[in-house]
Amino acid sequence: MIFLRYESFSQYIRFYPVTFSILLIQIVMFAIMAFSGGTTNPETLIRFGAMYSFPGVAPEYWRYFTAIFLHIGFPHLLFNSFALYVFAPPLERILGKWNYIVFYLGSGFAGNALAQWLHTGSYFAAGASGAIYGIYGAFLYLGVFRRGLLDEASRKTINIILVLGIIYSLIIPQVSLTGHLGGLLGGFILFAIMFRRSRILR
């Protein structure tokens, strides 16, 4: 089971420096926003880089990336940070530091882009969910096309999380189903490209 975390704090930082840095950025940005107007305040979120859409006004392109590191309320931060802490480390080791950075940002961008494309009306959004679903997409690729490289318990875990995640996205109005699906699809495709063009796990 590759998703069980046995590392000490110092080992985690040493083995998974990018994932740790992402977690740290999320926490720091959350703290800054908490003292600058509130993490659930739309004006504060937009000021710090959240996605938004208003009639006749499209978001700047850099927001597709900055929104990945912002969260709306503590439960949102906690849930996404836990998922990142548990599921991201194996992928960072598989891809390597630089490929993993490209993959993570690309998956987050894909989630935000699909949500923006399909969303109607005014909205604002933030969170790492698209990038996290991209991580799930990478393991889904392995589970489907390289079954021998992923143990049975890990495959089942990813399948269960995806099923529950889609159900949760459908029944909770505040959750972006399109953002999750965009990240999942983006991660699946990105990992397939990276896998085929390199000697990852070969």
Interacting residues of 64 by C-beta distance below 8 A, sequence separation 6+? 51, 108, 109, 112, 113, 116
> Distance (Å, rounded) from C-alpha 14 to C-alpha 67?
26
Cβ atoms of residues 50 and 63 within 8 Å: yes
In DSSP terms, 123 is beta-bridged to 53
Q: Given the residues 129, 154, 169, 176, select the one marked as catalytic.
A: 129
Annotated active-site residue 129? The verdict is yes
Maximum pairwise Cα distance, the chain: 50
Q: Cα–Cα–Cα angle for 113, 114, 117, nearest 5°?
A: 85
In three-state secondary structure terms, 57 is strand
Q: Given the residues 76, 107, 176, 180, select the one marked as catalytic.
A: 180
Cβ atoms of residues 62 and 122 within 8 Å: no
- 150: nearest Cα among 81, 82, 91: 91
DSSP type of residue 54 = B
- The beta-strand segments (E) located in the chain are 51-53, 123-125
Residues serving a catalytic function are 129, 180
